[in-house]
Amino acid sequence: MRVFWARGALASEQVVEALSGQEKWQEATIKTLLNRLLKKGALRARKQSRRYIYSPVLSRAAWLATESHGFLDRVFEGRVAPLVSYFSEQKKLSKQDIADIKRLIEGIDDER
């Protein structure tokens, strides 16, 4: 999806080319992924000549909102604090992460 959000509408061969330097996926794997994203409604396709041009249905912001809320609901009962606690306990928060979280909390407190 990042490829589509960055570049817009693309044919499958353009997606394969864009991912060739980033992922070690075969062309068939990428085409399977495109079909799955199409069936899920994340992409739309229009026929152009003898090929399909794919484009994203959701913006990155809309996708992030949906996915992050779904993840929080499924894994942390809709709460953010247990998520942060989990990553803290697993020592997955860098000093920069902690500073960013503190700044975010201060910003929230300032708004209230």
CB neighbour list of residue 78: distance below 8 Å, 6 or more residues apart: 69, 72
What is the 8-class DSSP label of residue 79?
A: -
pLDDT band at 108 (very low <50, low <70, confident <90, very high): confident
Write out the two tokens for 104: 């975010």
Strand spans (E) along 12-73:
43-48, 51-56
Under 8 Å between Cβ of 56 and 34: no
Backbone phi, then psi, for 48, in 5-degree steps? -130, 110
The confidence score (pLDDT) of residue 4 equals: 96
pLDDT in tens, 5-39: 999 999 999 999 999 877 788 889 999 999 999 99
Model confidence, pTM: 0.66
pLDDT band at 112 (very low <50, low <70, confident <90, very high): low
What is the CATH architecture assignment of 2-56? Orthogonal Bundle (1.10)
The confidence score (pLDDT) of residue 76 equals: 95
Q: Which residue has the higher pLDDT, 109 or 47?
A: 47
Kindly calculate the radius of gyration of the chain based on its CA atoms and give it in whole angstroms: 19
pLDDT in tens, 62-107: 989 988 999 999 999 999 999 999 988 988 889 999 999 999 998 8
